[in-house]
């Protein structure tokens, strides 16, 4: 049984167009890394690039690097690298600040773009907590009422009072992929703006922001985009909204002429409006270098492998793990699945601890969810088989 699945894994890996990409990452063969949905692995070439940024650009060129090393324009330049990965034409994506800060900019910006008589903001009731906390504050600051709705119930919650809806593309806990085209269309039919959090979809699946008419979106770059711990997030503002986008954090970096240093504020044109203060250059340039691993990789190929990997992992779990010990809360339907598998399990904390001790790194979402993230650029089918086999060993009390 195990031999069959091991052979299948080997033949799937042999046919995998992305197999060669794994070499680009600092990973050791003794460990199956299934936590790229929390922190992506390090692309091997990034340390050398950072050594140059620190010793030469900072150490030797010092202040000149803002111009000569392109530091000042890094937020737009890196935004342009991310744009095709999320289906955005140039000029709409800016990189900087945390996702949380960008959720604030995007949501308040959306409310300011909406018809002022509308007095409700809808937030995804299953959201990653930071979006909910910030939506609550944004509602208080803008004098709106916050309404929580499950993504599936959103069409019913929308109405003439809705100014904007903030929704997660993929649920961080279950891995459920929400219907971005359908929900965006419903939000628009109600006359409101759709703001999407792409943290768990950017770099994992095609998002097609422009094609689906999304209004604003945010996403992080330290998961499937491998930008590094605390790497800056991105903000997308659809071109049609850029002239009216009124950032609630209009720092000097978003000024039309920052070095004029005038007391009066005048917003820059384009995506630069989403900038705030001095960019965190070291993290930003680590992200820029990390994005090289995407050269020549269409996100559709990544998606196809992601679905094949999660299908195969689920099959291995069904085959190896004794009946009833785990329950998948990740949808089976491809159209409803992100790039992770979440299994509910008794004693999940102890189980994950033991998995990690045995070289299978996933994570735990309390109280009982084992999360396994599949990053197609570096996770193999052999990894998926081994993870399921080790999970079965742990649950059956077999020693490793």
Ligand X SMILES: Nc1c(O)cccc1C(=O)C[C@H](N)C(=O)O
Ligand Y SMILES: Cc1ncc(COP(=O)(O)O)c(C=O)c1O
**Closest among 225, 221, 339 to 293, alpha carbons compared:** 225
Catalytic residue among 144, 173, 371, 386: 371
Q: Is 100 in the site for ligand X (CB under 6 A)?
A: no
Catalytic residue among 16, 197, 215, 383: 197
- Considering the complex, what minimum distance in angstroms separates the CB of residue 271 from ligand X? 24
- Considering the complex, what minimum distance in angstroms separates the CB of residue 233 from ligand Y? 6
- Considering the complex, what minimum distance in angstroms separates the CB of residue 104 from ligand Y? 10
Report whether 100 belongs to an annotated binding site: yes
Q: Is 104 in the site for ligand X (CB under 6 A)?
A: no
Give the Å distances, CA to CA, from 321 to 267, 305, 306, 390. 57, 23, 22, 9
- Considering the complex, what minimum distance in angstroms separates the CB of residue 31 from ligand X? 18
| Number of chain positions touching ligand Y (CB under 6 A) | 13
Strands 193-197 and 216-219: parallel
The answer to whether 371 is a known catalytic residue is yes
Query: How far apart, in whole angstroms, are the C-alpha atoms of residue 181 and residue 201?
Result: 14
Partner from ligand Y, ligand X, none contacting 197, C-beta within 5 to 8 A by type: ligand Y
Residue 279 CB coordination number (10 Å): 22
- Considering the complex, what minimum distance in angstroms separates the CB of residue 97 from ligand Y? 8
Q: Is 224 in the site for ligand X (CB under 6 A)?
A: no
The answer to whether 128 is a known catalytic residue is yes
Q: Is 221 in the site for ligand Y (CB under 6 A)?
A: no
Report whether 172 belongs to an annotated binding site: no
Q: Is 226 in the site for ligand Y (CB under 6 A)?
A: no
Residues ≥6 apart with Cβ < 8 Å to 288? 74, 77, 78, 81
Strands 162-168 and 120-124: parallel
| The pair of three-digit structure tokens given for residue 148, joined into one six-digit string | 């929580």
Q: Which of residues 230-249 bind ligand Y (CB under 6 A)?
A: 233
Q: 3-state DSSP call for residue 120?
A: strand
- Closer of 9 and 170 to ligand X (Cβ): 170
Partner from ligand Y, ligand X, none contacting 69, C-beta within 5 to 8 A by type: none
CB environment 35-64: b (16+ within 10 A), e (fewer): bbbbbbbbbeebeebbeebeeebbeeeeee
Q: Is 281 in the site for ligand Y (CB under 6 A)?
A: no
Residue from 69, 130, 319, 328 binding ligand Y (CB under 6 A): 130
- Closer of 184 and 340 to ligand X (Cβ): 340
Residue 204 CB coordination number (10 Å): 30
- Considering the complex, what minimum distance in angstroms separates the CB of residue 57 from ligand Y? 25
Give the Å distances, CA to CA, from 314 to 127, 175, 336. 25, 13, 15
Q: Is 98 in the site for ligand Y (CB under 6 A)?
A: yes
Q: How far apart are the first and last CA of the chain?
A: 18
CB environment 115-135: b (16+ within 10 A), e (fewer): eeebebbbbbebbbebbbebb
Q: Would you say 25 and 43 are in contact if contact means Cβ atoms under 8 Å apart?
A: yes
Residue from 6, 8, 38, 50 binding ligand X (CB under 6 A): 38
**Closest among 329, 364, 375 to 126, alpha carbons compared:** 329
- Closer of 227 and 388 to ligand Y (Cβ): 227
| Number of chain positions touching ligand X (CB under 6 A) | 4
Q: Is 372 in the site for ligand X (CB under 6 A)?
A: no
Residue from 172, 196, 245, 312 binding ligand X (CB under 6 A): 172
Q: Is 283 in the site for ligand Y (CB under 6 A)?
A: no
The answer to whether 223 is a known catalytic residue is yes
- Note the residue count of the chain: 400
Q: Which residues have a catalytic role annotated?
A: 128, 197, 222-223, 371
Residue ranges binding ligand Y (CB under 6 A) = 98-100, 128, 130-131, 168, 172, 197, 199-200, 220, 233
Residue ranges binding ligand X (CB under 6 A) = 38, 128, 172, 199
- The binding site for pyridoxal 5'-phosphate consists of 99-100, 128-131, 197, 200, 222, 252, 278
């Amino acid at each position: 049984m195990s031999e069959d699945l091991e052979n299948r894994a080997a033949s799937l890996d042999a046919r995998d167009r992305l197999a060669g990409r794994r070499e680009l990452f600092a990973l050791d063969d003794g460990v199956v890394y299934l936590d790229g949905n929390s922190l992506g692995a390090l692309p091997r070439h990034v340390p050398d690039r950072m050594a140059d940024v620190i010793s030469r650009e900072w150490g030797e060129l010092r202040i000149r690097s803002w111009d000569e090393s392109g530091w000042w324009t890094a937020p737009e330049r890196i935004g342009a690298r991310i744009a095709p990965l999320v289906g955005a034409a140039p000029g709409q994506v800016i990189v900087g600040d945390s996702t949380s800060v960008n959720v604030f900019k995007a949501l308040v910006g959306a409310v300011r773009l909406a018809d002022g008589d509308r007095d409700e903001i809808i937030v995804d009731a299953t959201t990653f907590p930071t979006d909910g906390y910030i939506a609550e504050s944004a509602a208080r600051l803008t004098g709106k009422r916050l309404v929580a709705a499950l993504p599936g119930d959103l069409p019913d919650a929308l109405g003439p009072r809705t100014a904007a809806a903030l929704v997660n593309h993929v649920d961080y806990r279950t891995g459920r992929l929400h219907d971005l085209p359908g929900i965006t269309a419903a939000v628009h039919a109600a006359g409101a703006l759709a703001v999407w959090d792409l943290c768990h979809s950017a770099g994992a699946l095609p998002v097609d922001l422009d094609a689906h008419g999304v209004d604003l979106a945010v996403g992080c770059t330290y998961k499937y985009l491998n930008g590094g711990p605390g790497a800056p997030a991105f903000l997308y503002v659809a071109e049609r909204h850029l002239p009216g986008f009124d950032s609630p954090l209009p720092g000097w970096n978003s000024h039309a002429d920052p070095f004029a240093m005038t007391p009066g504020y005048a917003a820059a044109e384009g995506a630069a409006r989403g900038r705030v203060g001095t960019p965190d250059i070291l993290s930003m340039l680590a992200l820029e270098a990390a994005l090289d691993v995407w050269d020549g990789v269409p996100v559709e190929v990544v998606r196809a492998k992601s679905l094949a990997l999660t299908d195969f992992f689920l099959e291995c779990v069904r085959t190896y793990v004794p009946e009833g010990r785990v329950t998948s809360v990740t949808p089976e339907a491809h159209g409803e699945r992100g790039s992770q598998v979440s299994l509910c399990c008794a004693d999940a904390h102890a189980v994950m601890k033991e998995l990690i001790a045995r070289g299978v790194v996933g994570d735990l979402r309390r109280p009982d969810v084992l999360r396994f993230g599949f990053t197609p650029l570096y996770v193999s089918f052999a990894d998926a088989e081994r993870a399921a086999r080790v999970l079965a060993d742990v649950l059956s009390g077999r020693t490793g």
